[in-house]
Structure formats: C-alpha cells, structure tokens
A = this chain, B = another copy of it.
Amino acid sequence: MKMQFKEISGSVVAPRGFRASGVFCDIKKLGTGKGSNKGLKRDLALIVSETPATVAGMFTTNQVCAAPVKVCVERVKRGTAQVVVVNSGNANACTGRPGLADAREMVSFTERALNLPPGSALVGSTGRIGVTMPMDNIRAGIIEAATLLGASAEHAGHAVEAIMTSDTRPKQLAVEFKLGGKTVRLGGICKGAGMIQPGMSPTGARPATLPALHATMLGFITTDVAVDARVLQAALNGAVAQSFNRITVDGDMSTNDTVLVLANGLAGNKRFGIRNSEFGIFQAALNHVCLELAKKIVRDGEGVHRVVTVRVSGARTVPDADAAARAVANSALVKTSWHGGDPNWGRIIDAIGYSPATVVEEKVDIGYSATGSKKILWSLQRGQPTKAMFKQLCAAVAPKEFELHINLNLGKANAVMYAADLTEEYVDFNKGDVKDASSLGG
C-alpha cells in the first residue's frame, strides 16, 4: 500500500498528549558539572505521555544484550507504559548485575520523579560498553528533565539531541493522517551512526528465520492513535522488518538496539483489529515513519558518503533474497567500490556467489537506477556484461544515492537492504583514540 502522509513538525510531541525534554547531565563524566546544561550536547531525554499508553517494542537479538534492553523486554510484555527515559554516553552493556540494578533504578527513579505508578517507565541507553552508569548524574538529569518537559518542537529537538552519539544530525519525523474519521498523528526520533545492522525481534530472542545480523540504533515513536498493545506490536513487527532491520552501515549488530512505540489513544479513534482496514492505514503510516527514520540512519552513518538501495529479486526464497542482499550490502570490496564511484559488478557477483543464497552465474542480472526510478541501466545480463558503456555505468553510481538491482532469475522472492559505502573516514573514526578507554562503543 503506497500512501502519502502529511509531514508535520514536532516529531515525538506532535501527537496529542506527549511532552519531551533533553538535558546535559555529564554521563561521560567530562567533569564539567552535573545536572545542568552548560552548552554541551544533551545526554538524557524523557518522552512522556499524559495518560497511560499501550506499548510495543523490538529489541536486539544479540545474545550479549544491554541491561536496559533486558528491563524493557520484561516491561513491554505488560502492554502499557507512560514514559521513556533515554541516555547517551553509556550503553550500560556488559555491566553485569550492578548494571541491571542501575537500569532498574533508572525506571523506578523516573516513575517517582514524575509521580507515576511502578511499571510506567521504559529505558534506553547508548554509548560506551562495559562502564558502570554514573547514577548520581543520571538521577540529577532525570530530576532536571522532569522539570523541563514541554510539547514544542524545541522540546522534541532537545530530546533528539540527547540520544545522539556519533550522529552528526538529529533524525526526526512526524506525520498526520485520517484514521476512522479522526485526524491522528505519529511521530518518531532515532539515532544511529556506527555498529549498525540491527536484527530486532519483539522479545530479543532470535527467530530461526532471522539472519545473524549486526548498530546501536535507538528509535522512539509516539502516536495518539487508540490501538491495543497486541495490534500495535503486530504493526511494529511489520514496520521494523521492512525498515530498521533492513539497514546496514558496518554489518555490526549492537548490544542495545531498541525501538519502542507508545500509543496513548488521545485521538479518540475506534480501536481496530489487524483485519480492519484501519490497520492497513496505520501499518502504512508506521512503515513510512520507520523507513524514513531508518534511511536517515544510513545517510548519517559513520563516514558514509554514498547510500545504496540494494534490491534483490528473482530469488528462490525470501531467506535467499535476504542473504544475497546482505552479502552485497556488507562486502568490504563492494562497499569500497561504491566509495570510489566504481561500477564493479565483479565484486557484486562474487559476493552473491559466496552468500548462502542459491545463485546460478548464467542467470544473474545486475543493474542501476536513480532512486525511485524504474529505468534500469543493466551492466550484466544473464551473467554476461552488457554493451552499456563504462562511462554510463560510472554516471549511474556517481550520485550520493542510487539503487542497485540484482535479479537472480530463479524464483519470485525479493529483498531490499539500505546500505552504505566504506570510507577512509569510517576507518579513521573507528580506529579510536587509545589515550583512554572512551573508545569502547556500544
């Protein structure tokens, strides 16, 4: 279902009844003071609904998962929540039992600060791995953030800033659409940059069909739609499968990947089931917001110069299509050729050939199009180079964004990956600064 959605400002506070804030509480312990914003990047955010909301979540399937993920997986099962507390600068991952106690304190402290009943808060963290949370700073941050909540685009902007790590740009979006005769709104913020190839599931357990994947990405979505938790989770599963779980920057799946949706029902629409037409409309809107946010993560990935949509078609099975798309999207040689503006089909067919997908060399087509265009310039057809001029092919891969089309011509299954090039800047950024332990990323 292809629909148009009206974009509005305010991201997570665009839906009725939501407020947000973001403060600096020195989570990285830069030593510039606690609990106050001194012009440094904010590092703690609150997103609050004025009424209890239904909730759904998707979590990293990494077996080494962070304490906040463990806490959220438990709490999302209950189906309701009212506030999300998120920090950057520390992932609270590989921090053992003390880390889990810290994550639990973050939610309970937030609930008390906002006078909400136990079980109302969810938590997300991103930043260094293996470092104990600076709980004094966190508590001071939560208290300050609770006093600064508001529903303006500026408030949402503070929250977006607070969740950024190596992101160079804030990533946010909100849309307004009609649902069951009511005007409803859906907004979201996210962060990404490195360690980006999410593979999330509703419980953090890895389904057999989910490939072994690899980012810290955090996404927080709010809506005033009235929707039951189970229906909301079904919509989120579908939306994440086609968006956040289809992006890769560097092929590394984080310990902290989390997407949460809070739906407070203040739009007053009639609740719907997954067989109602309203579900299709809601799913399409959620898909749109998740996909646009996911693409923003790839575009702003560490050192990324080019974004390539890898479209595999004609695979025997969906896992085959997915495996071929991921092999290409994560091949160091393919990614460096994209960086170089080199239409190197040899590396592409090499990558699909070593993927677990069934591939017959003599059947493979490889081509390029402008983003969204149906006009494909084929460089390889049925395993043989076409007569396309090398200059034409170079022109096709020169734009900042383009689409790569791979048809295996063996079946009807498709898959898409939103991928990035591999640049010297990525290497330089991630080789880290070994003067201290601050380079432990998560």
Q: Which of B252, B346, B434 contacts A342 (CB 8 A)?
A: B434
Which partner residue on chain B sits nearest A398 by CB separation?
B434
Per-residue CB contact flags for chain A residues 412-434 toward chain B (1 = under 8 Å, else 0) read: 00000000001110111011111
User: In the complex, how many angstroms separate the beta carbon of A140 from the nearest chain B beta carbon?
Assistant: 26
Assess whether B351 is in contact with A252, with CB atoms less than 8 Å apart: yes
A250 within 8 A of B: yes
Which partner residue on chain B sits nearest A430 by CB separation?
B336
For chain A, what secondary structure do more than half of its interface residues adopt (helix, strand, loop), or is it mixed?
Answer: loop
Assess whether B439 is in contact with A361, with CB atoms less than 8 Å apart: no
Assess whether B214 is in contact with A354, with CB atoms less than 8 Å apart: yes
Quick one: given A194-B333, A428-B424, A431-B336, are A64 and B130 in contact (CB under 8 Å)? no
Q: Which of B64, B342, B384 contacts A350 (CB 8 A)?
A: B64
Quick one: given A199-B354, A213-B354, A342-B432, are A64 and B359 in contact (CB under 8 Å)? yes
A383 within 8 A of B: yes
A313 within 8 A of B: no
Q: Which of B64, B251, B350, B437 contacts A254 (CB 8 A)?
A: B350
Contacts of A436 in B (CB 8 A): 390
User: In the complex, how many angstroms separate the beta carbon of A206 from the nearest chain B beta carbon?
Assistant: 9
A340 within 8 A of B: yes
Contacts of A128 in B (CB 8 A): 346
Assess whether B63 is in contact with A354, with CB atoms less than 8 Å apart: yes
Contacts of A61 in B (CB 8 A): 354
Contacts of A129 in B (CB 8 A): 346-347, 349-350
Q: Which of B94, B336, B346 contacts A130 (CB 8 A)?
A: B346
We find that the number of chain A residues with CB closer than 8 angstroms to chain B is 78
* Cα distance A56–B212 in the bound complex, in angstroms: 35
Assess whether B349 is in contact with A64, with CB atoms less than 8 Å apart: yes
Assess whether A252 is in contact with B340, with CB atoms less than 8 Å apart: no
Quick one: given A422-B427, A437-B390, are A130 and B345 in contact (CB under 8 Å)? yes
Q: What are 21 A-B interface contacts by the 8 Å CB criterion?
A: A62-B350, A64-B361, A65-B361, A94-B346, A94-B349, A94-B384, A194-B333, A212-B355, A250-B332, A251-B330, A251-B332, A252-B351, A253-B350, A255-B350, A339-B431, A340-B433, A344-B441, A345-B440, A424-B428, A426-B427, A427-B427
New A-B pairs, 16, CB < 8 Å, besides A252-B351, A424-B427: A62-B350, A64-B352, A93-B346, A94-B346, A94-B383, A96-B383, A129-B346, A212-B323, A214-B351, A250-B333, A255-B350, A255-B353, A332-B422, A340-B434, A342-B432, A346-B440
The 8 closest A-B pairs by CB, nearest first: A64-B353, A340-B431, A129-B346, A336-B430, A253-B354, A342-B432, A424-B424, A250-B332
